[in-house]
Structure 1
Amino acid sequence: MGETSVLTKENVKNKDTNIDSEESDINILIKSASKVIAPLWPISTFAARNPWMGLEKQSFDQVADWLKNTRDVDIYPSASIILSAKSKGEINEAFVKKGLQRWLDSHPFNIPRDMAERFCYAALKLEPIPSNFISSLKLEELTDEFSGLNTDHIENSFNQPISLHIENHDGEKLINILDHHVIKWCKLFLDDSQAAWTIPNREEGFYRAWRRLIQYDPALSKKQRESLKAWPQEAHLALQEALSALGIPKSEIQNYLEGHLLSLPGWAGMMLWRSQQSSHKHALLTEYLAVRISMEWALIKPYLPLNQRSKKKVSITPLLASWIHWGGLTNEEWSQMSATEQNEYLSFAYRFDDKLRRKLWLEAWEQTHTDRLSQKIISKQCETNDKRSTLAQFAFCIDVRSEPFRRQLEKEGPIETIGIAGFFGLPIAINELGSNHSHSSLPVIQKPQHKIKESAEENEFKSYQQRKQAVNSLSFTFKVMKQNVLSSLLLPELSGPWLSLQMLARSFVPRGADRFIRNLRETWLRKPNTTLSLNQVHNTEAKLPIGFSDEDKVNYVRQVLKMMGLTTNFSPLVVICGHGSKSHNNPYASALDCGACGGAAGGFNARVLATLCNLPEVREELSSEGIKIPVDTVFIAAEHKTTVDELHWIYIPELSEAAQEAFDCIETIMPKVSHKANAERLAQLPNFQNKFKDPIAEAHRFAEDWSEIRPEWGLARNAAFIIGKRELTQDCDLEGRAFLHNYDWKQDKSGDLLANIIAGPGTVAQWINLQYYASTVAPHYYGSGNKATQTVTAGLGVMQGNASDLLAGLPWQSVMQSDHEAYHSPLRLLIVIQAPSEYVKRLLNNDLVFREKVQNGWVRLASVDPEGRWENW
C-alpha cells in the first residue's frame, strides 16, 4: 500500500443515465474516502468505536505507516509505555529477540550479520541518541560528504490539505483557521439540545444553511465573503468547484478528501453517523466536505497560484549518528567505505526505524500475554462440575468487569456462572414507563426488531405521570430561564441558595447528599409496579411491532439458551444479570453502562428474557424440542452495578420452594461477594490508598462524589475474548481482563453458534479493545484528554476548550494511571476458541471478514482443542 491513500480506488461505472455522472463520481469518491474515519455516536448514547473499522482490508502495519506518513499519528505504543511494561515484567525479552531474528531473515541487506544484529539489539533498548551527539560538527562534516540516500519513499502533494502548508502574515497556519471556522459551523448546525435558538434554515441542510449565512460572517474578510456570495447552491457542485479552483487533479481527489476528513475526524465522524441515521440526511458528509473545502478555497485564494511543494527528503544525520552510537561504527570506518557501502548502512538504519522497533516490542508484549494466558488456562483445567447439584445459575454479560464478580460469587457456594452478550439476544427498543420516547437496547451494530413498553394500572400511571411531569416542568423551566436573555439575569437570585447548598453537600458529604436527593426523588415519584408488553400488538402505524409473536418468544428463548449452553441440568434458580453503572457529574456515564449498546444498561433486557423463560407456553414448546425446563426452576432478573459491585434485583416472580431456598442463600452471601469484589477492584485505582476502609462504602463514595474523575476503570486492560465452557477458565484469576462467552462446540455441529458469537459479541469486543488501544497510544488524536478540562458541547460530545475537534475517544482518566504511566495495556484483542481445530478452520474459511482481521493483524487468534492443547493461529 502506498502512502498516497490507504484505500484502493473504486472503479465503479454509473449505469443509471438519469443521474448526473459527475455527482455520482464525487459521491463514490466520498463514500470510499469516508472509510478513513468511523461514525461517532453522541456521548449520551456512547458506544465503543473502532477508529479503523473501514480500513481492515489493509494490514495493521500498513495503516500504521500510512497514518504516520500522512497525519504524523503514531499507533504503536510509545517507548515510555513499552519500557514501563518491561519494568513490570509484562514483556519476555526472548520474544523480542525472536521477532528480530525473523525480521532479519526476511529482509535482505548487504552488511555483515553480526554488525546488523549489534546495531539492532542496541537500538531495541529504545534509548534516544543524545541531541548534542547528533548536532556535533564532526558528524555534520561526515554527512556533508555523502551524496544521497536511495529509498523508496514517495511524497504525495495531495494527501494533506493545502492549507496545512500555508501560513498567514501572523505566522498562523491556515488549516488552524479553517478548523476553527468549520468547528463553529458544525456546532451551530448539529446542536439540537443545548442552544435556545437554532441555526436559520437548518431544515434545508448543512450546506444551504451555511451558504445563506456565510456572506454575513464577520469572522471573514469582506473579500472572502464576496468570493463565496455566488457559490453554487448544491453541495456537490460547490465541492467540485472548490476542488477545481484549488487545482486538485481528478486522480488525487480521494486522497484530498481523506486528508480533510482526517483533519477533524470527530466532527466528520458525527456527520457520517448522522448521514447513516436517516435517508433525509444521506448527503450530510458531502455537505460537510463542501463547506470545509469551499472555506479552504476562500482562505487560500489570496495565495494562489501556489508553488509546487518540494519532496520530503530523508535526513542523513540521525541515521549515521545511530550507526556510530548503537552500531559502534567509527568515523574512520565510515570514511573508508565506498558510496555503495555507505548507502547500504544508511538504508538499513532507515528501515530499522523507531516505528519498527516499537512494533517488535508490541508483538513480543502480545506474545508474552498469550503465552502466560495459555499457561494459566492449561495448568488449571478442572473437573467438569456436576451441574445438577448447582444451587443457582447466573447469566452475566461478557463484559470484563463481570469476571472478578463471577469469580468471587463462585467461591461462595455451588454456583455456576455463564457468559453471554448482555442484551441477551433480544433485538428490542424499550419504552419505559411515562416516557414518550423509546431507545434501542442492543449493540449499535444491530437494529431493533421489536418494541417493549412498560405499563402500569391506569390510576397509578396517571398519578405517577403527574408527579413526573411536575419534576420535568421544573427542569424545563430552569433551562428556559437560563437560556432567555432577561430571565437569566434573575435566575441566580432565585436558584443561588438552593444550588449553593447542593454544591456544598455534594462536595463535603457526597454519600449523604446523594442518598437524600435520591430518596427525595424516589419518594416523590413513587414508581408503581409495572408490566411489559410481551404479547404482540398489531399496530400498522408503529415503526416497530410492539411485543413478540408466540413464535418469536420461543425462538428468542431457544436461541439464548443454546448460546449459553444451558439446555439441560437447570438449577432451581436461574438469574439473568444485566449490568449498569453509577456515577455523578460524568459525561462518560453511558460508556460505563455498556460499551456496546449505546449506553443502555442491561437490566430491562434481563427482565424481558427472564419473564419469557417463565411463560408456560414457551416452556411447553421447548420441551417438545428436547429442552426441558423443570417445573420448580424459576428465572429472575438482576442488574450488576459495576461501579459498586452490587447486584440489584429487578424482577422476582413467585418462587418455588427450591428456588426460594437458593434465593435466600444468595442474599446471605451477596454482601461478602460485593465486599471482596470491591476490595479487588478498588485496589487498582490510583487514588485509593487506605486499604483498611470498608470497600463497599468506598465504592459508593467513588460513585457518588461529583468531583471523582475516575469512579471505576471501566473496561481498561481488556486483552482477551475467551469463547468456551466455564470449566476452561474456572478458578483462573483473569484479573478482569477477559471477555468470557460460554460455548460448547459439542452442541454446535454446524458451527452457526460460533459464527454468530464471532460476528456479534466478537466484533463488539474488538471495537472496545481498539478504542482503548487507540485512546492509549494516540491520546492527542483518538482520545479525549483530561476530564477536568472537557467541555460538553451541543449535547453531542466533548471538546477541549470551546474550539477543538469533537473528541471521539476515551478520556485520559480511563486509560492512564498517572501523567506518565499508562494503566491500560495497549494489546490487540486475543480471541481464544475452545473447539477442535477443524471448527476454527471452518470459521476462517466461511467468514471472510473475520479471516481478514486475523491475517491483517487487527485481532489475534488461538484455540484450545478437546485434549487441552493450545494452538496459535
Structure 2
Amino acid sequence: MSHAAAVESWLAYSRPLLPIQNPLWAFVHNNILLQWEDRPFRRAVREAAALYRARPYESERFFRRQLRRGRVERATLGEVLLARWPAERERPRDAEEAVVRFLAEPDLGDDVPPERLVPGPSAEHLLRYSVRDRPLQDWLVPIIASYLDQGLAPWPNPFASEGLWAFFVASVESTPTFGFEWAPELKARLRRHRERGLGLEELIHEEVRSVASADDAASYVLQTLFVLKGWSGMVWKLESEPQVAPAEVPHLELKEWLAVMLVSMHALDEALRRDHPHHRAPVYSRNTIGLGRLERWQEAYERSFGAQLLATLERDLARPLPRREIAAQALLCMDDREESMRRVLEGPGYDIETYGVVGFFNFDMNFHALGAGRASRQCPPVVEPSRTIRELPVDEGGQDWARSRTADKLGASLALALYLQSRTLVRGFFVSLLAGLLSFLPLVFKLLLPSRVHVWRRRLQWMVLPRPATRIEIDAAGGYSPEEQAQIVRSILRTGGLVRDFRSLVAVVGHGSTTNNNPLRQAYGCGACSGNPGKPNARSYALLANRPAVRARLRELGIEIPDATLFVPFFHDTTLDEIELLDRALVPPERLEEVLALAERLQRAAKVNAAERCLRLLPRQAPRSPEAAYEHVQDRGHDLAQPRPEYGHNRVAACIVGRRSCTLRSFLDRRSFLVSYDPTIDPDGSVLRDAVLGTVPVAVNIAMDYYFSRVDNDGFGASSKLPLNVVSLLGVITGSKSDLRIGLARQQIELHEPMRILVLMEAPAERIRALVEGHGRLKRLVHGEWMRLGKIDPESGAIELWSEGEFRPWRAVWPEAPILRDAELAPVFDRHRDHVVGVAGGRA
C-alpha cells in the first residue's frame, strides 16, 4: 500500500469517530456519541471513555448518595444485581442480600475489562497527557484559531489559499526560541523533514510508523486527533461542510491538521523525554476501570425513574377523564418545556385543548429574515432543508423600510469600526477609554434593571426606527407549491390527531429563548428548528392553514376545516415566559378582539408557568405570585451576568407518543416530551411513522447531549460558562488557550438526571415493531439500548416494555415497581424530593 493510501485509510477510520462540531451559530443538540450508535450502548461508552478521557457514568459516590436519599430504590438495585450476578460468586438468597454484599464488597461486579489507550506496544511511546497537554495547547491553539478565524482578527489570513501546513511551517520558522522550551526540537524535526523532501503523506506516514506498528497505526492516528478533539472535529466539519462557516473557510484538510499535530506532539515528546525519562503513559484508560459496577448502578438509577413513571401512568389511565369545555385549540411544540404550559392551558379558566407537534411544523426550509446576514436552518438536523424562504417588507418602497435598512448599515459599520479601532496600539487606548465612559451608566442600569432597560431600549428603537411590517414569501420561485402547502398543513393536523371538531380559534405556537451575553444560546432554542426560534415556522403554518385554496385541497383529502376557524400564530419565549402575537395585521378586523382575548389568556398561562419554573430556579425564595415570577424570569433573561437564564431540557427523561388522554390526568413535572398521535385514525401505521421519526430522534439527541455533558462535564461537556471565551467566531474555549469545547456548559446541566430516554408509544405492538425494524437508526437505538421502549395499548391502556426482543407486561419486567395510591405523587415528580445536587439560584 502506498503512503498516500495508508494515510487515507487511517483518516477514513478516524473521521466518523470525531466529535460532531458545529459553529456557534449553527449549534444543534446531538448525541455526542452519534458515531458509536452502531454498537451497544455499554460497549460504545467504554470505548468512547478512553478516547474522550471522560467518565461514561456518574461516580459510585454519586450513586451511593442517590441510594441513601431514595432516588435509587433498594429493591430495584437488588433486582438489577440478581439479574447480573457474577457467576463465580455465591448467589445471594434475595435482593436485599445482593444489595448489602454489593455495597460491602468494592470489587463485586467489577467484571468489565478496561480499555487500552492504544492496543499493543505503541502505548509505551506516549507520555502522560497531563504532562504535555498544556504546552501543546499553548503552541497549537493560537495556530489553528488564527488560521480558521472567521472575523475576529483585523487582518486577512495571508495563507488562506496555501493551506494549514504552509501556515504552520511559516509559524515555526518565525517563532523565537526565547521562552519556548521545546522550540529547538520542533525546528530540528521540521528541518529534517524538509531536507529529505518528504511530501505531506510521506511525512505523516513516517511520523506515525515511528511510534506505532502497522496494526496500531489507525488507532494511533485517531488518538492523536483526540488530543485536541474539539479542534479536530471542527477542522473535519469545515472541510466536509464549508457552507456552515460563518464567513469563508480557508483551504483546509484534516490530513494537514494531523501532520501539524504529529510533528508538534513528537517534538514535544522528544523534549519531555529529555526532562522526564521515566515518565510513561499507562496502558489502560483510568476512565474505563470499574465500569461493571457503574453499569449496574446506572441501570438501577434509570429503572427507578421508569418504574415510578409507569406506575403513575398506569394509575391515572384507570381514572375517568375530566369533563371540560373547550374554548380554543393550540398546536405547541412537543418540547418538554411546554409540558407545564399545556397543563395550565388545559386547566380551569383557560379551557384550551392542546396538541404536541414538531416545532418546525414540517417546513424543511432555511429562513432568511429581513435584514439578516444569512439564512437560518428551521428544521431538525436529520432533515435537509430543500429551499430558502424569505421575509420581505410589506411595502418595499416604504419610508420605514428605507430608514431601517440605512440604520442597519450605519450601525454595522460603526460597530465594526469601534471593534477594529479599539484593538490598535495607540488609537485603541483612546477609543476604549471613550467607549468605556459612554457605556458606564447604561451598563450599570442594565445590571441593576435588566428587563426595564430592555423595554426602554425597545420602545426607543420603535420610536426612532420603527421596524417595517413584513410578510413571508412562501409562493415565489423556490417556495412551496400549492400541493406541498396543503400536504404540510395536513401532515401536522393528521399526525397530531386534530382532524375534526375544530374550534373557532387555533393557536399555532412556536417557541424560542431570549438570553443575554450567551454564546451557547442556540442550545436553549427550539430543537426541531436546529436551535433557532420557531417564529417563521408558526407564521408560515398559520398563513397556509388560513388559505381557502389549501382548505379546499384538505377537504378533498378528508379534513374539513370550518370557514369560521382561524389559525393564529404566536411565539412563546421559554426564558421570559412571554407570549407574542405574530402577524397581527393579517387578523380580520372583526376577529381582532377575539384573538386579543386568546393572546391575553395565553399570557396569563405563561405567568403561571413562570411561577412553576421559579420553584426550581429559586428553590429557597420562589416568588409568591405569577406576576412576581414573571418579573423575575424577565430580569433573568435580560441579565448580562446570569449564566442560568433557564434550565432548558434539564431533567427530561421520557418521550410519550400518543393521545393527550394518556397523560392528561398525570403530573409529569416537565420531564417528558409529549407528542400527539391518534392511533384510531392510522389504519396503516404511516401516521405513527411520521409522528415518531420527526420527534424521537430529536428527543434522543437532546437526552444524550444532556446525559454525557452531565456525567463528565469536563470530558464530554464545555465545563463552566464563566471562563469560556468565543474563539474564531466558531466555538468557545476555556481561558485563552484550550481545546475547542464540546457539549453543554455546567450551568446548563446542573439539575439534570443523566439517563437514557424512555419512549412510550400508544400503538399496537406489531405496528411499533414494524416501524423499529424498518428504520435504520431507530433499530440501532432500540436494539443497542440507547433508549428504552414501551407501549400503551390503545384500547385497554395496558403498558408493556420492550425486553429481550419482545413486548412484555411492564410489571413482569420490573416486578419491584411501586403501586401508587390515588393522591400519591411519585418521588421523581416531587420537587420537594429533588435529589440532584446543583446550584439553582445564584449567578456564579
| TM-score, scaled relative to structure 2 | 0.85
Aligned length: 777
Does the alignment pair 1:518 with 2:458? yes
Per-residue deviation, 1:599: 2.9
For the residues of structure 2 that align with 1:150 and 1:464, how far apart are their CA atoms?
A: 67
Does the alignment pair 1:225 with 2:183? no
Q: CA-to-partner distance for each residue in 1:711-730, whole Å, 9 max, x for gaps?
A: 11111111011111111111
For the residues of structure 2 that align with 1:313 and 1:261, how far apart are their CA atoms?
A: 18
For the residues of structure 2 that align with 1:384 and 1:625, how far apart are their CA atoms?
A: 31
Per-residue deviation, 1:250: 1.9
Aligned to 1:612: 544
Aligned to 1:331: none
Per-residue deviation, 1:476: 1.8
Question: How do residues 535-684 of structure 1 correspond to structure 2 at under 5 angstroms?
Answer: 535-537=475-477, 545=478, 547-652=479-584, 655=587, 662-684=594-616
CA contact (8 A) 2:123 2:283 kept: no
Aligned to 1:375: 311
Aligned to 1:133: none
Q: CA-to-partner distance for each residue in 1:472-517, whole Å, 9 max, x for gaps?
A: 2221221121233332122123212221112211222223222222
Q: Residue 522 of structure 1: SS of its match in structure 2? A: helix
In percent, how many aligned pairs have the same letter?
A: 25
Per-residue deviation, 1:422: 0.9
Aligned to 2:711: 777
Per-residue deviation, 1:755: 2.9
Per-residue deviation, 1:91: 2.1
Aligned to 2:158: 200
Does the alignment pair 1:871 with 2:807? no
* Alpha-carbon spacing, 1:160–1:705, altered in 2? closer, same or farther (3 Å): farther
| TM-score, scaled relative to structure 1 | 0.82
Say which of 114, 127, 131 aligns to 1:166.
127
* Alpha-carbon spacing, 1:692–1:683, altered in 2? closer, same or farther (3 Å): same
For the residues of structure 1 that align with 2:462 and 2:738, how far apart are their CA atoms?
A: 39
Q: Residue 486 of structure 2: SS of its match in structure 1? A: helix
Question: How do residues 393-542 of structure 1 correspond to structure 2 at under 5 angstroms?
Answer: 393-411=329-347, 412-456=349-393, 457-460=395-398, 461-537=401-477
* Alpha-carbon spacing, 1:252–1:758, altered in 2? closer, same or farther (3 Å): farther
Question: How do residues 742-781 of structure 1 correspond to structure 2 at under 5 angstroms?
Answer: 742-781=676-715
CA contact (8 A) 2:709 2:743 kept: yes
Question: How do residues 152-191 of structure 1 correspond to structure 2 at under 5 angstroms?
Answer: 155=116, 157-158=118-119, 165-166=126-127, 173-191=131-149
* Alpha-carbon spacing, 1:283–1:799, altered in 2? closer, same or farther (3 Å): closer
Query: What amino acid sits opposite 1:205 in the alignment?
Result: G
CA contact (8 A) 1:214 1:225 kept: yes
Per-residue deviation, 1:606: 0.7
Per-residue deviation, 1:572: 1.1
Q: Residue 459 of structure 1: SS of its match in structure 2? A: coil
Per-residue deviation, 1:436: 4.3
Query: What amino acid sits opposite 1:56 in the alignment?
Result: E
Per-residue deviation, 1:226: 3.6
For the residues of structure 2 that align with 1:431 and 1:437, how far apart are their CA atoms?
A: 6
Per-residue deviation, 1:177: 2.6
* Alpha-carbon spacing, 1:519–1:653, altered in 2? closer, same or farther (3 Å): closer
For the residues of structure 2 that align with 1:380 and 1:249, how far apart are their CA atoms?
A: 62
Query: What amino acid sits opposite 2:577 in the alignment?
Result: D
Name the stretch that deviates more: 149-158 or 746-755.
Answer: 149-158
Q: CA-to-partner distance for each residue in 1:748-807, whole Å, 9 max, x for gaps?
A: 333233334433321111111011111111111112122222222222222221111111
Aligned to 2:263: 294
Please identify the structure whose Cα radius of gyration is greater.
1
* Alpha-carbon spacing, 1:160–1:86, altered in 2? closer, same or farther (3 Å): farther
Say which of 51, 55, 60 aligns to 1:74.
55
Per-residue deviation, 1:260: 1.9
Aligned to 1:325: none
For the residues of structure 2 that align with 1:156 and 1:81, how far apart are their CA atoms?
A: 26
* Alpha-carbon spacing, 1:659–1:765, altered in 2? closer, same or farther (3 Å): farther
Per-residue deviation, 1:440: 1.6
Per-residue deviation, 1:200: 2.6
CA contact (8 A) 1:440 1:448 kept: yes
For the residues of structure 2 that align with 1:261 and 1:509, how far apart are their CA atoms?
A: 46
For the residues of structure 1 that align with 2:686 and 2:198, how far apart are their CA atoms?
A: 51
Aligned to 2:241: 277
CA contact (8 A) 1:429 1:452 kept: yes
Aligned to 1:860: 788
Q: Residue 453 of structure 1: SS of its match in structure 2? A: strand
Say which of 207, 219, 225 aligns to 1:242.
207
CA contact (8 A) 2:52 2:715 kept: no
CA contact (8 A) 1:682 1:688 kept: no
Per-residue deviation, 1:268: 1.7
Question: How do residues 78-89 of structure 1 correspond to structure 2 at under 5 angstroms?
Answer: 78-89=59-70
For the residues of structure 2 that align with 1:764 and 1:729, how far apart are their CA atoms?
A: 21
Name the stretch that deviates more: 836-845 or 116-125.
Answer: 116-125
* Alpha-carbon spacing, 1:441–1:796, altered in 2? closer, same or farther (3 Å): same
Per-residue deviation, 1:217: 2.7
Per-residue deviation, 1:120: 5.6
Per-residue deviation, 1:631: 0.6
Structure 2 segments unaligned to the other structure (5+ residues): 244-248, 803-844
Say which of 84, 87, 93 aligns to 1:108.
87
For the residues of structure 1 that align with 2:308 and 2:183, how far apart are their CA atoms?
A: 63
Query: What amino acid sits opposite 2:4 in the alignment?
Result: E
Query: What amino acid sits opposite 2:304 in the alignment?
Result: T
Per-residue deviation, 1:84: 4.0
For the residues of structure 2 that align with 1:87 and 1:488, how far apart are their CA atoms?
A: 58
* Alpha-carbon spacing, 1:534–1:184, altered in 2? closer, same or farther (3 Å): same
CA contact (8 A) 1:831 1:859 kept: yes
Structure 1 segments unaligned to the other structure (5+ residues): 1-19, 130-148, 316-350, 538-544, 817-822
Q: CA-to-partner distance for each residue in 1:403-455, whole Å, 9 max, x for gaps?
A: 10111111133311111121111011111112342222112232211211111
Name the stretch that deviates more: 521-530 or 647-656.
Answer: 647-656
Q: CA-to-partner distance for each residue in 1:687-710, whole Å, 9 max, x for gaps?
A: 761433611111111112211121
Q: CA-to-partner distance for each residue in 1:291-321, whole Å, 9 max, x for gaps?
A: 2112223333568999997985999xxxxxx
* Alpha-carbon spacing, 1:591–1:313, altered in 2? closer, same or farther (3 Å): closer
Q: CA-to-partner distance for each residue in 1:587-608, whole Å, 9 max, x for gaps?
A: 2222112335343100111101
* Alpha-carbon spacing, 1:787–1:687, altered in 2? closer, same or farther (3 Å): farther
Say which of 754, 764, 785 aligns to 1:826.
754
Say which of 32, 37, 57 aligns to 2:38.
57
Q: CA-to-partner distance for each residue in 1:315-372, whole Å, 9 max, x for gaps?
A: 9xxxxxxxxxxxxxxxxxxxxxxxxxxxxxxxxxxx9x84322322221121122121
Per-residue deviation, 1:58: 1.4
* Alpha-carbon spacing, 1:293–1:407, altered in 2? closer, same or farther (3 Å): same
Task: Calculate the aligned-residue CA RMSD, in Å.
Answer: 3.3
Does the alignment pair 1:256 with 2:193? no
For the residues of structure 2 that align with 1:234 and 1:569, how far apart are their CA atoms?
A: 71
Query: What amino acid sits opposite 2:423 in the alignment?
Result: Q
Query: What amino acid sits opposite 2:766 in the alignment?
Result: E
For the residues of structure 2 that align with 1:313 and 1:592, how far apart are their CA atoms?
A: 38
Name the stretch that deviates more: 612-621 or 563-572.
Answer: 563-572
Does the alignment pair 1:45 with 2:17? no
Per-residue deviation, 1:282: 9.7
For the residues of structure 1 that align with 2:676 and 2:173, how far apart are their CA atoms?
A: 60
Query: What amino acid sits opposite 2:187 in the alignment?
Result: R
